[in-house]
Structure 1
Amino acid sequence: MKVRSLKKDKVNIITLGCSKNLVDSEVLSGQLAANDIAVVHENKKLDHNIVVVNTCGFIDKAKEESINTILDQVELKRRGKLDKVYVTGCLSERYRGDLEAEMPEVDAWFGTMELPLILKRFDADYKKELVGERFLSTPQHYAYLKISEGCNRTCSFCAIPLMRGQHVSRTIEDLVAEAESLVKKGVKEIMLIAQELTYYGLDIYKKRELPRLMNALADVKGLEWIRLHYAYPSKFPMEILDVMRERDNICKYLDMPLQHASNNMLKAMRRNITREEMTELIHEIRKRVPGICLRTTLIAGFPGETQDDIEELKSFLAEHRFDRVGIFNYSHEENTSAYDMTDDVPAEEKAARAQEVMEVQQEISYEKNQEKVGKVFKVLIDKKEAGRYLGRTEFDSVEVDNEVVIHSKKKLQIGDFVQVKITKAYDYDLEGEVTEP
């Protein structure tokens, strides 16, 4: 008769989707570890016996990846390689009822705000004193800082409020304490993330307080770069720009998703802004923060979009010459207001339009990068691959933006800042050599 091993549980957390999900996984890891439960992230050794899949439910492609990942883990369980499979995150929040019926092999499903319930499965307590403490799954020198949860916006294409609820800001005191804790762990760069940064503070302070938060974080000793992601353009709080200009450790970088430039599309998407207002805002941003890097994301193939709308979008890009652009193909999401519209742009056409737009941006990016040749930039070393170092300037965020390929005969330390003279430039990357201080 076989006797089951009394080997201690080891939990592997698999994270899919955005950086906000990554932070949730890091918080879960910290809570499990504080309860003396062994935990790893994206474990390749397969020496764990329990898996938590933190899913994404944002668009079709992300949902498909989440479902395939769950099925892979269920198969490992069927083969006796795992004892338990738990699922959490946005997909689970949104489709729990359907998924439970289709995948009975999953041991439990949890929503986006049910961390204490996940811990109960491990006979673990939620430790409130650990708020802000987490196990970093990023390299030691950078981390994401989630300043709020949820969103009050009503963009017609977006299902995030269905999965994450209404906007809830964290207090400035909690965020500063977390930033100080991250710096003690060796973090030099934090990226502020939220579904909507510029709304920060309205719920708890009754006014927009992102500028005050930025100043408080900029005072944290040892924090060398603070980067802003996901700022909503409508009713943009201009004070952000003054703080960015005045504080040396706030990167001159702004990620502001615009989604489109055609007024027809902006109205249908319920973006509460016009092309003309966006143009005025962009000019004001660049006036107040000379040299700022502007990143935006766009959507191709929204219901009713025509080739004329795409031409407007291309002319908008040519006019404003953004430093960084990303584009998504529209995904028809249940229970959004756009779901009542006819998804009338075929998938192939969405992809073709996205490619058309990105070809315009590719040329702009190449030209902007060529202007950097011969100039010296402060660069953060992220990693070493194939005998060369890869880093980023203050104008580049992790994974989504340019990398700087660094040639150096001397050994460089990951997480250090170095001065790099740019020697070559490509569409989306740079090459350079370390210069002596």
Structure 2
Amino acid sequence: MGHTCRPRRAHFATIHRLEDSIVPYNISFISLGCAKNQVNCEQMMASVQAAGHTIQAQPEGADVVVVNTCGFLQSACEEAIDNILEMAELKRAGQVQKILVTGCMTQRYKQDVLNELPEVDGILGTGSYGDICAAIDEVMGASGLRPCHLGSIHTAPQDGGRILSTPPWYAYLRIAEGCDNHCAYCVIPSLRGKYRSRPMEGLLEEARELADAGVKELLVIAQDITRYGTDLNGEHQLASLLRELCRLDFHWVRLHYLYPDEITEELIDTIAEEPKIVKYLDIPIQHCNDGILKAMNRRDTKAELLDLLTKLRARIPGLVLRTSLITGLPGEGEAELEELCVFLRETKIERAGVFPFSPEEGTRAAQMDHVDMEEARRRAELVVDVQSDIIDAYNESVLGTEREVLCEGFDSQAQMHFGRSYAESPDIDGRIWFDADREVEPGTFVTVRLTGVMDGELTGELAEE
């Protein structure tokens, strides 16, 4: 089951009531995939609410369930189909009237969704999120239309109101849409369009409202945040944007994702100098072998990656790195796999998501010679073993130190509070578990003395303040 979008609060009075939405309906949203997709879902919820409809957390009893899909990998499409079929069961039981499917899977497989999933009452592609209210009216109308909204993925508006579905203490700020990197294994450019930065003025207005609403951790996101602004005036503007964001009332500013070939000296200085920017950088490298990187249309070499990581470690004290790695890529043999493992041991990248290569339909890499999925998974497991040793050593190295932790709740079974430090990003990394002799409210920053490790996650105790 996917992430049910639970409405929290509305932002940005830029969406007006749609007068042609005559009948109010109960609408439920399920959002799958990445944080960028979640922002799209939050924008759709705001549009729906502004049109006079009611948003409910659970799908049971909804007039329309909107399943916002991911289509990045086949596994994501399978998850989306499972969710759609689960909603179809509720529909057959009379607990849901209509099902709308939006997002990347519909953009990628629009005709297949319409032909193979008769339970679906309408679809919206990634260029048509703004048409959600019209689609609701169409599927609920007497004419029984089966809407298919597929607007341009290169010009779709990015701004608009949001109803946040994250906990009150953090929120995402999407600063750009699309991607121009065209990695050989990736379908994102064909699903999200060309890279489009949002103007800084609008971003800062949105960020101010988030800060005023009590958001303490702002996660700056895009498929590639390092290129921010280059499509507007040819200049890298991320460092300038970050300096402005740090003037606002956030406690932490976190960055996802930075592509290694576009990390400028100015950006490194800004990250190092601004105390609100957490010293945690998510830099997807995918591999380290020069031949594989070139075949994948990556613009780095192993030497350049090593130089960058060394420079970042030297200039940003306490830096924690996260990356994404793919095993079984075209051109990878046992020697290249061992090279990747040695690279990890040398660079000691603290956190890594390791994925077996998935030959995605429509990508150049799918046409190249590669190992089968079973072998790619075996290799992924080997890399995960290497990465486990690295994180174990890192956890041991920080025991006895004190960390600022953002408390996110209390687990009644474990009888411990849990939260995150700067070194853990929400929904990606693990938690820090800690004992406290008093109740700690979620959303509160506390100091925790790290004393142990439990199932790979750090544990500690509330330090005297």
With the shorter chain as reference, the TM-score category is over 0.9
Gaps of 5+ in 2: 1-21, 139-155
Local SS of the residue matching 2:232: coil
Q: Give 2:258's aligned residue.
A: 231
Among 405, 416, 422, the residue aligned to 1:379: 405
Task: Check conservation: 1:132, 1:174, Cα contact below 8 A.
Answer: no
Whether 1:398 aligns to 2:442 is no
Whether 1:210 aligns to 2:238 is yes
Q: Using a 3 Å threshold, how does the CA distance of structure 1 residues 300 and 427 change in structure 2: closer, same or farther?
A: farther
State the distance in 2 between where 1:27 and 1:110 align: 14
Q: Give 2:26's aligned residue.
A: 10
Deviation at 1:369, TM superposition (A): 0.7
Q: Give 2:221's aligned residue.
A: 193
5 Å matches for 1:192-341?
A: 192-220=220-248, 222-341=249-368
Q: Name the TM-score, length of structure 1 as normaliser.
A: 0.94
5 Å matches for 1:47-126?
A: 47-123=61-137
State the distance in 2 between where 1:385 and 1:50 align: 34
State the distance in 1 between where 2:441 and 2:416 align: 12
Q: Give CA-to-partner distance per residue, 1:220-245, whole Å, 9 cap, x none.
A: 1x201000111111132221111111
Task: Check conservation: 1:29, 1:40, Cα contact below 8 A.
Answer: no
State the distance in 2 between where 1:393 and 1:79 align: 45
Q: Give CA-to-partner distance per residue, 1:59-108, whole Å, 9 cap, x none.
A: 12111101111122123223322111000000000110122111233111
Q: Give 1:3's aligned residue.
A: none
Deviation at 1:178, TM superposition (A): 1.1
Task: Check conservation: 1:227, 1:253, Cα contact below 8 A.
Answer: yes
State the distance in 1 between where 2:263 and 2:208 align: 28
Q: Between 12-21 and 263-272, report the one with greater CA deviation.
A: 263-272
State the distance in 1 between where 2:253 and 2:83 align: 33
State the distance in 2 between where 1:28 and 1:400 align: 24
Local SS of the residue matching 1:83: strand
State the distance in 1 between where 2:326 and 2:116 align: 31
Deviation at 1:210, TM superposition (A): 0.4
Task: Check conservation: 2:27, 2:63, Cα contact below 8 A.
Answer: yes
Among 24, 27, 52, the residue aligned to 2:43: 27
Read off the aligned partner of 1:103 and give its amino acid letter.
Answer: L
Whether 1:137 aligns to 2:159 is no
Q: Using a 3 Å threshold, how does the CA distance of structure 1 residues 148 and 129 change in structure 2: closer, same or farther?
A: closer
Q: Using a 3 Å threshold, how does the CA distance of structure 1 residues 398 and 298 change in structure 2: closer, same or farther?
A: same
Percentage of matched positions with identical amino acids: 39
Runs of 4+ deviating beyond 6 Å: none
Task: Check conservation: 2:448, 2:460, Cα contact below 8 A.
Answer: yes
Q: Give 1:175's aligned residue.
A: 203
State the distance in 2 between where 1:238 and 1:323 align: 23
- May I ask how many residue pairs the two structures share in their alignment? 425
Q: Give CA-to-partner distance per residue, 1:369-421, whole Å, 9 cap, x none.
A: 11111111110011222232111111110121131101112000100000110
State the distance in 2 between where 1:240 and 1:119 align: 40
State the distance in 1 between where 2:95 and 2:458 align: 44
Local SS of the residue matching 1:158: coil
Deviation at 1:172, TM superposition (A): 1.2
Task: Check conservation: 2:61, 2:96, Cα contact below 8 A.
Answer: no
Read off the aligned partner of 1:68 and give its amino acid letter.
Answer: D
Q: Using a 3 Å threshold, how does the CA distance of structure 1 residues 341 and 129 change in structure 2: closer, same or farther?
A: closer
Task: Check conservation: 1:377, 1:393, Cα contact below 8 A.
Answer: yes
Whether 1:37 aligns to 2:48 is no
Task: Check conservation: 2:158, 2:198, Cα contact below 8 A.
Answer: no
Q: Give 2:151's aligned residue.
A: none
Deviation at 1:303, TM superposition (A): 2.2
